[in-house]
Amino acid sequence: MAEPIVTKFLHTRMRVNDLERTVKFYGEVFGLEVTKRHESPRGSKLVFLAVPNSDEEIEITYFPGSGPVEVQEDLMHLAFEVDSMDTFGDHLRTIGVEFSDGPTESSSGSTFAFVDAPEGYEIEVIERPKD
């Protein structure tokens, strides 16, 4: 078998209109933590967020020179696993956030729901069936 061309998935980048609002959202809603902040040579402001129990990160970038961010519906989404959809839903209510869709039980026994980030990026949360 040939050596893999790609050796590891590192991060996903999403451009936003309000960097601090988005960083606060991911911290409050999902518990993600900032690992690094810097500015690129072209002037983009970048924030990397650590995802629990994962080596991959989310890169949030603000670059007004590219124009406003307008996320079309169903363009893409991130997905996070939760231990309990009920507990996660209670957490959302305490911080004044609502599910944008669901919770819904799938045919596999998983429960999934969606939360919309400030620019409209969708984030799926999934509770897998208990063994």
Catalytic annotation, residues: 124
In 3D space, the residue among 56, 50, 58, 45 whose CA is nearest the CA of residue 17 turns out to be: 45
* C-alpha to C-alpha distance for 96 and 94, rounded to whole angstroms: 6
Q: How far apart are the first and last CA of the chain?
A: 35
* C-alpha to C-alpha distance for 103 and 101, rounded to whole angstroms: 7
Q: What angle do CA 16, 76, 98 make, to 5 degrees?
A: 75
Q: Tokens standing for 87?
A: 């507990």
